[in-house]
Chain A
Amino acid sequence: MTIAPSLSRQQPAASVHPGPLLKVEDLSIEFGPKGTAVRVVEGVSFTIDTGAAVGIVGESGSGKSMTSLAVMGLIPSPPGRIATGRILFEGVDLLGLPRSRMPEIRGRDIAMIFQEPMSSLNPVMTIGDQIGEAIKLHQKMGREERRQRVVELLKLVGIPDPERRLGAYPHQFSGGMRQRVMIAMAVACNPKLLIADEPTTALDVTIQAQVLELMHKIRRTLNTTILLISHDLGVIADICERVIVMYAGKVVEDADVKTIFRSPKHPYTRGLLQSIPRLKDENTRLYQIPGMVPLPGTIKQGCPFFPRCPDRIDKCARETPPLLEITPQQKAACWVSAGATS
């Protein structure tokens, strides 16, 4: 598998880590027994700089959630396993760490917000206790000090009357409020990297906008690096400055948001952008990419998007395109965009 040509800064792992905050190299994730294992993520490489906000977009089954779970070390195993690759966080390979070290990193250095605010909180614990638990785990603090911190966090995420809400149970909160609590829990220990896996998908549109606004606020006030996973390019464009497009377990395009919207280089990205409804043309039928996402493991050779691609050439059926540098700011896994003709 080809490793994406890295952007200028290739530095050895060091304790001070002058390089990017997170660097994923050639990550492949398999499910199933060895031998007949199915690769759901293959050869994924990307970097996230400190302070950046990067989005991963793709449809269901594209491997975006698996990639984020791999960073957290949460791939459900036995069935799943990381087949190849390295995940360098501040220069340290998380995959090489002993299992017992991961809990120290989770929550303190890397935190995660989940998709299901309705069920991501323990129903029999008060929200004050749940947020406090995260703090207690990673920071030495007295009881009263911790309580103050929880109140502060609830205030930060915009929960009214936080002092009184501490003793409330999750079922007394609405979906949007619970997602706020989840965010408070995630940022409780000032993580360096915040992974948000579809944080707004389960919410209705007005609450979605509020949660996105909150993410902005978190970024401004805490200076957190954000990795946002979504199937919604609009959500990603709102928060992130760079976007990684995934398709069938591979990165197909990696560019900054403006470039992607202005001149998408991979036909799949173009398809995605064309299928966003626009306010101006109300009477035309919405574009849809023909065909379906291939099942994991069914593409043996060639470009995974080949069967659905409007611009395909013969070469695409034979050779899998690596992530090719189109411009210094934009990389796409497409022979045609890279200038191949036959």
Chain B
Amino acid sequence: MTILPGSVGTLSASDDIEHAIAPEPGRTALLKDMLFGQASTIFAFSVVVIFLLVAILAPWLAPYDPLAQSILSINKQPSWAHWLGTDQFGRDVLSRMIHGSRNSLLFGLISPALAAFFGTILGVTAGYFGGVIDRVISRVVDLLLAFPELLLAIMIAAVLGGAFWNIIAVITVAFVPGFARVARASTLAVKQEPYIEAAVAVGLRTPTIIIRHVIPNIAAPILVLMTLWVASAIRLEASLSFLGIGTRAPNPSWGNIIRDGLNNLFGSPWPIIAAGFAITCVVLSFNLMGDAVRDVLDPETTR
């Protein structure tokens, strides 16, 4: 990585200016360098990509029908026929895991994205305009924050029922306050920056200033939070499924694989082990990715 001189002190004579600035590496090169510069990041990306591929290709990868029961092969230990064994209904655990990844990853990706979108809108609006708008939004956010996310999710799920989009909505609502908070706090800081005043002085109107100057400058913490909450969303969906209000049986998700497995712990521990391991891997990978994303987004980060 080339480090570019930025301080006033290094450039005292005008003749030096031309030589003092190193040629800039292209943006793509920079991105590559940051994404693949660290072993942990490569690992995280690989894991995420593998899981995404598995989810997309589920019907072709799964060796058995995830819903097909068989009285003849209940609670089988892992074997060549059933890599992760079977559960108490004789269903192939590996196939259920593969199909379950679809539900878990969908929840894990869609809800934080939606929450980030709505949370940012709320937070930026509150932070930028201040006054009454800020007070109203902040109080509502405080109210939502007062409930633990899981409790809030259970409450809403109990009211709405457990359909796919309901669960998405539930997790989204549970996450919005966190994003709104971060967005508001960052906006308050960015709003004071001279470049916002400079943007006003150039003649930009408020919506343009918010979209072009405020949001890009607060995007880094929001995106990091989003990658962190991908993990939380998968966990939350697992918790909801575990409690019986998430993905409905017999459809598999990693959460309800664990729940079903718990009732049958002494029959076969493999469903719990497999689902727990998958959740841990994905959550960890998304967290590592979050760090990498933050580094890429900040143009001032130089490694």
Where the two chains meet, the residues of A that have a C-beta atom closer than 8 Å to any C-beta of B are 72, 74, 78, 103-108, 111-112, 114-116, 119-125, 133-134, 137-138, 158, 160-161, 164, 167-169, 171-177, 182, 185, 203-204, 206-207, 210
Contacts and interface: CB of A to CB of B under 8 A. Distances in A.
A164 B9 CA distance: 23
B217 interface: yes
Contacts of B12: 204, 206-207
Nearest to A182: B198
B202 A174 contact: no
B33 interface: no
Interface in B1-48: 4-14, 17-18, 20-21, 23-24, 27
Contacts of A175: 7-8
A185 B120 CA distance: 29
Given A103-B203, A172-B6, A210-B14, A123 B217 contact: yes
B205 interface: yes
Interface stretch (B84-92, B138-146, B189-197): B189-197
B10 A121 contact: no
A121 B213 CA distance: 10
Contact of B202 (A111, A116, A119): A111
A152 to B, nearest CB: 18
B6 A119 contact: no
B217 A72 contact: no
Contact of A108 (B195, B197, B203): B203
A135 to B, nearest CB: 10
Most buried by A among B24, B131, B193, B195: B195
B155 interface: no
A202 to B, nearest CB: 9
Contacts of A164: 23-24
Interface residues of B, number: 38
B299 A120 contact: no
B217 A124 contact: yes
26 contacts: A74-B200, A104-B203, A107-B201, A112-B198, A114-B194, A119-B194, A120-B195, A120-B197, A121-B195, A121-B198, A122-B216, A123-B217, A125-B212, A134-B203, A160-B18, A169-B300, A171-B299, A172-B4, A172-B24, A173-B6, A174-B7, A177-B17, A182-B198, A185-B202, A206-B13, A207-B12
A137 B213 CA distance: 15
Contacts of B27: 167
Given A158-B14, A174-B10, A185-B202, 7 more contacts: A78-B131, A107-B202, A107-B203, A114-B198, A115-B194, A164-B24, A174-B6
A116 B131 CA distance: 28
Contacts of B219: 124
A93 B207 CA distance: 26
B201 A111 contact: yes
A106 B203 contact: yes
B49 interface: no
B15 to A, nearest CB: 10
B204 interface: yes
A133 B21 CA distance: 25
Contacts of B202: 106-107, 111, 133-134, 137, 185
Contacts of A185: 198, 202
B201 A106 contact: yes
A147 to B, nearest CB: 17
A119 B213 CA distance: 13
Contacts of A173: 6
Interface centre among B7, B11, B18, B219 (most CB of A within 10 A): B11
A155 to B, nearest CB: 14
A137 B130 CA distance: 26
Contacts of B198: 112, 114, 120-121, 182, 185
B202 to A, nearest CB: 4
Given A106-B200, A106-B203, A133-B204, A125 B216 contact: yes
The 3 closest A-B pairs by CB, nearest first: A107-B203, A175-B8, A106-B203
A115 B197 CA distance: 11
Nearest to B213: A122
Contacts of A106: 200-203
A74 B219 CA distance: 26
B262 interface: no
B203 A122 contact: no
Which of B6, B7, B131, B203 has the most CB atoms of chain A within a 10 A radius of its CB?
Answer: B203
A122 B217 contact: yes
A103 B205 contact: yes
Contacts of A74: 197, 200-201
Given A122-B195, A133-B212, A160-B18, A176 B204 contact: no
Contacts of B131: 78
A169 B195 contact: no
Contacts of A111: 201-202
Contacts of A116: 194
A169 B7 contact: no
A226 to B, nearest CB: 15
B52 interface: no
A283 B231 CA distance: 71
B300 A123 contact: yes
Contact of A138 (B11, B24, B203): B203
B198 to A, nearest CB: 5
Contacts of A158: 14
B204 A137 contact: yes
Between B27, B199, B213, the greatest number of chain A beta carbons within 10 A of the residue's beta carbon is seen for: B199
Nearest to A112: B201
A172 B24 CA distance: 9
B18 A161 contact: yes
Contacts of A182: 198
Nearest to A188: B202
Interface in B166-208: 193-195, 197-205
